[in-house]
Amino acid sequence: MSFHHLDQFATVPSPVTAMPPVARLVGATSVAVGAATLPLGAWPAAAALGALVAAMTLLARVPVPLLLRRMSGPLAFVLLASAGLLVFVPGDPVLDLGWVAVTRPGVERFGFVLARAVVALSAAVLLVTTTEFPDLLDALRRLRLPRVVTTALSLAYRLLYLLMEELERLLRAARSRNAGAGAASRRRLAAGVAAAVLQRAFARAERTHRAMLARGYQGELATLTEWRWRAWMVAALATLLGLVLVTAVLARG
Amino acid sequence: MTAPLVEIRELGFHYPDGTPALDGVSLAVARGERVAVLGPTGSGKSTLLQHLNGLLRPTAGGVWIEGVTVDAGPGLSDIRRKVGLVFQDPNDQLFLPTLMEDVAFGPLNDGVGPVDAAARATAMLRELGLDGVGARAAHHLSGGERRLAALATVLVSRPVVLALDEPTGDLDARGRMRLVDLLRARGETLLVATHDLTLARALCGRGVVLYGGRVVADRELGALLADRALLERYGLESPSGE
Ligand SMILES: Nc1ncnc2c1ncn2[C@@H]1O[C@H](COP(=O)(O)OP(=O)(O)O)[C@@H](O)[C@H]1O
Ligand SMILES: [Mg+2]
């Protein structure tokens, strides 16, 4: 399952993975927000931020096809949602489809929305590809995200895998009894399996809660990790933030 | 006269849905004893163990640890530190993103600082031969490793009594012997719920048989295992290879 390898590049040694996760999170977020909020038509700025992400990708030694593959899902969504721009923005028609026409400003607007999305998404995907989930969580904690949220997220992480395991077991058991041949039977099987997984999730949560109490849990999740900041890391993060900021200002210039 | 380490007196319990699970269970365990709690599935073994640290509350009778009654009072966190409970399914006990965090969880809750908690977790993982996998998530461990890891999460808090629920469920013969050697070498007082009579024989000196929520036998383990009629009556198979 692809999901077992979400963070497979987190352990590849590189300047990117050496950075404290907080730095990675802040860096990626600033690029993503910077890109997503660029004013329409700020092509040079979008290109600059895109180049920044490309440089990071190279540094982290993440293969570009992998990055693109991971972006494809959300990107398809953006494509669909913004396709209307092609025809609804009034202006010179460049392609007449009979009942509607694709306009020149429509193409420009659509292209820019897409470019913004590509840059923002690639920054986000690069972050989760190079950062292990526990580190990401720790970063969120350091950024003072409420404890309940980070606690819930860290428990959800393990639970997600346990549920996937249960799901696989249930499906295997059902298939070994020849369930799921034919559409109606498949629907019934899916409903039954979903109900069973849900029920097991609740039972599991209950037992885990007891296991936490048994080890002295009193409502606060304390943590272990310490990362070391080095001068070059501070400098690198500051440079990145500076570049994003300058780009954003220039784009609005 | 000193109180036994664990004392269970006339313990009765039924689940909220009305299912009766324990009925008049009495049992005293002295420091250093290793007791096998035997019985077929549904006889009340897991329910009994969960009373030892107050996860379940008796509907009749009571439980005392070093003479202190197990109830919701201020002594409960102390009792939970003294009684280490290892659940039947290791996955229930490995709920954090990495093994290291899971093992440090107990000490951190006891107020140990992050640096010391990490040091203790590291030492514990090393003792169980898990040094290499502390940074891993539990879903990247083998079944046997998960079992040891769950044990590590409890041993790290230095309990006086260790209550193990079906600890050999997913271990092969070698894994079982390793567990036995480890527990014998450490010397905690043990209550082991199991229907694995081979494990009981290798590890314990005394056997208590539960059946339908009642204690039906409490003897020296060798004598108990030699009583074939008893084993058969209560649905226990004699140890393999005999
Ligand atoms: N959460 C629960 N709710 C209701 N009944 C339960 C629950 N857990 C166990 N039981 C019932 O209590 C009895 C004792 O179960 P248990 O202590 O799990 O036995 P064992 O561990 O020996 O297999 C059984 O009849 C079982 O069905
Ligand atoms: Mg049980």
For ligand 1, whether the C-beta of B168 sits within 6 Å is no
Give the model's confidence band at A172: pLDDT under 50 very low, under 70 low, under 90 confident, else very high.
confident
Pairing of strands B83-86, A101-103: unpaired
Let me know if residue B126 belongs to a domain. Answer: no
Write down the pTM of the prediction: 0.73
At A178, is the pLDDT very low, low, confident or very high (cuts 50, 70, 90)?
low
CA–CA dist A69, B27 (Å, integer): 62
pLDDT < 70: residue spans in chain B: 1-2, 238-242
B227 located within any domain: yes
Shortest distance between the Cα of A143 and any Cα of chain B, in A, equals: 19
Query: CA of B190: how far to CAs of A104, A122, B36, B147, in Å?
Result: 79, 54, 8, 17
Tell me, in angstroms, the distance from the centre of ligand 2 to residue B129's CA.
Answer: 27
Give me the amino acid identity at B174. R
**Residue B32's domain spans which residues?**
6-93+154-233
Residue B70 forms part of a structural domain: yes
**Buried-state track B158-176, b at ≥16 Cβ within 10 A, e below 16:** ebebbbbbbbbeebeeebb
- Determine the pLDDT at residue B217: 96
Ligand 1, atom 12, lies closest to the CA of B21
Which of A93-107, A149-163, A174-188 is most confident? A93-107
Is the predicted ipTM greater than 0.95, yes or no? no
| Residue percentage of chain A with pLDDT more than 90 | 23
Q: Tell me which chain A residues have a C-beta less than 8 angstroms from the C-beta of B77.
A: 216, 218
- Residue A181 alpha carbon to ligand 2 centre in Å: 36
Burial class, A209, CB count within 10 angstroms (exposed 0-12 / middle 13-18 / buried 19+): middle
Output the CA A212–ligand 2 centroid distance in Å.
18
The reply to whether residue B97 touches residue A158, judged by beta carbons under 8 angstroms, is yes
Asked if residue A7 has pLDDT above 70, the reply is no
Mutate to test the pocket of ligand 1, among B15, B45, B165, B236 (most ligand atoms within 8 A of CB): B15
Question: Considering the domain boundaries, does residue B137 fall inside one?
Answer: no
Q: What is the pLDDT of residue A143?
A: 84
**Among B3, B121, B134, B124, CA closest to B65:** B3
What is the Cα–Cα distance from B38 to B56, expressed in whole angstroms?
20
Q: What is the pLDDT of residue B20?
A: 95
Spatial separation of the C-alpha atoms in residues B204 and B222, rounded to whole Å:
9
> Could you state, in order of their start, the residue ranges of all structural domains in chain A?
15-141+226-252, 146-214
Block residue for tokens 């070059």? A232
CA torsion through residues B85, B83, B76, B64, sign: positive
CB count within 10 Å of CB B18 equals 6
**Mean pLDDT value of segment A180-194:** 75
Q: Is A173 left (phi over 0), alpha (psi -120 to 50) or beta?
A: alpha
- Angle between helices B173-186 and B143-155 in degrees, nearest 10: 10
Q: Is the pLDDT confidence value at A1 over 50? A: no
Give the pLDDT score at A230.
Answer: 79
Local structure of residue A3 (DSSP, 8 states): G
Alpha carbon distance B36, B221 (integer Å): 8
Using 50, 70 and 90 to split pLDDT, how confident is the model at A160?
A: confident
Supply the pLDDT for residue A35.
Answer: 93
Tell whether B99 is covered by a domain: no
Residue A222, pLDDT > 80, answer no
Q: Is residue B168 part of a domain?
A: yes
CATH number of the domain residue B181 falls in? 3.40.50.300
Chain B closest-CA separation from residue A132 CA (Å): 10
pLDDT at A85: 86
- The answer on pLDDT for A253 being more than 80 is no
Mean pLDDT, rounded, for A159-186: 76
Contact A156, A208 (CB under 8 A): no
